[in-house]
Amino acid sequence: MAMTRLQEIEHKHAQIRSLLEQHKAPALWLRRTRNLAWITAGADASIPVETDYGMYSILVTPEKRIVYTNNIELTRLKGEERFEDLGFEYASFPWWEPARNPDHAGQLTDEGAVEDTLTSWRSVLTEGEQERLRALGKDAAAALESTVRGVKPGMTEFEVAARLDAACKAWGGQVTVNLIGSDARISQYRHPLATFKKVDKYVMVVVCVRRGGLIVAGTRLGYFGKLPADVSATLHRIAAIDAAVIAATQPGRTLGTVFSDLQAAYQAQGEADQWQLHHQGGPIAYQGRERIATPGDPLVVQAGMAFAWNPSIVGCKSEDTILVGAHGNEIVTAHSADWPTVDVDIASETIRRPGILEL
């Protein structure tokens, strides 16, 4: 049975307690939105979404969890988050006064080596976090697909982006990456920010979306009319590459070893240099990528980690979020039953990758 929210928080407090003992420090001051979401099991501290820091901070001592906030946020935190029911205390100050920082000499902050440790903890999800990731992935996939199905020729990329944002907002998602490419721009740019260009035949919709602190990523593509043979061939090559890296992401292997398999998959499809033109993704949890995988990366894959690989070649991309299990991987942003697929056979399993929807 998954932990309750309070049990999850207590588990994370115990991890921090061990860190404090290791550093002989009296407290850890958490300020970044990703770390605040992690320690509270899903609370959102981001009001301006462009900032890395929350509208409140939390000081964790061996015995206490203290929320430092101004009187504006205190009202909402007590009325809606109810942190006091989760073992937190409050230390508040008037909004017009300078932010009150916890006065603990020798305290740790979520920077440097401590942040590296927190990243490693954030990246291995508890059962409760895994359940929340699955629910988020299902909603994100539905939002991606409904957006593609709603595209009409002549829509601007901005209009498509607005539809994607609205589709995610409808179930409480906060879009952190919203990329829309159409026609030639899909081949020209790996990060196609939306423009006033009008969609003609081909559209790519990319999202990273956050809810309860966790983030999933995915991509879907649509084409008006019969899919041309060259586009179909490109799709099958990138699907084979994506399936290979999903299969290679197994507990106990290093990211560097997985990356070598990814490079080999590009080579096998006659696209040996394409991996150099865009990052390939990596672990995902409380950031769009907790780290970007690179050749030789020593990080060891563990069960309970989530990954969003995003291999691409000119004219096509494949991307979903997977949850690594002890005996196989689960695609949490899996396509719907009526979405076209490309089936890739690897060893004794068939990995289904989303195809391009003919509109």
Whole-angstrom distance between the N-terminal and C-terminal Cα of the chain? 43
The model's pLDDT over 307-324, given as tens digits with 9 standing for 90+, comes to: 999 999 999 999 999 999
Buried b (16+ CB within 10 A) or exposed e, 87-111: ebeeebeeeeeeeeebeeeebbebe
The model's pLDDT over 96-144, given as tens digits with 9 standing for 90+, comes to: 987 778 877 789 999 999 999 999 999 999 999 999 999 999 999 999 9
pLDDT confidence of residue 255: 98
Mean pLDDT by 10 residues, the chain (359 residues): 92 98 97 98 90 94 97 95 97 88 87 96 97 98 98 98 98 97 96 97 98 98 97 98 98 98 98 96 97 97 98 97 96 96 94 97
Q: Does the structural domain 5-123 have CATH classification 3.40.50.10490?
A: no
pLDDT confidence of residue 231: 97
DSSP-derived secondary structure letter, 47: S
pLDDT confidence of residue 186: 97
Rg (the chain; Cα; Å): 22
Are the C-beta atoms of 66 and 90 separated by less than 8 Å?
yes
Within 13 Å, how many C-alpha atoms sit on residue 235's CB side? Answer: 23
- Exposure of 126 by Cβ count < 10 A (0-12 exposed, 13-18 middle, 19+ buried)? middle
Domain ranges of the chain: 5-123, 127-144+213-358
pLDDT confidence of residue 2: 78
pLDDT confidence of residue 301: 98
pLDDT confidence of residue 175: 97
| Torsion-angle region of 259 (φ positive above 0: left; ψ -120 to 50: alpha; else: beta) | alpha
Domain 127-144+213-358 adopts which CATH fold? Creatine Amidinohydrolase (3.90.230)
Mean pLDDT rounded to a whole number for the chain: 96
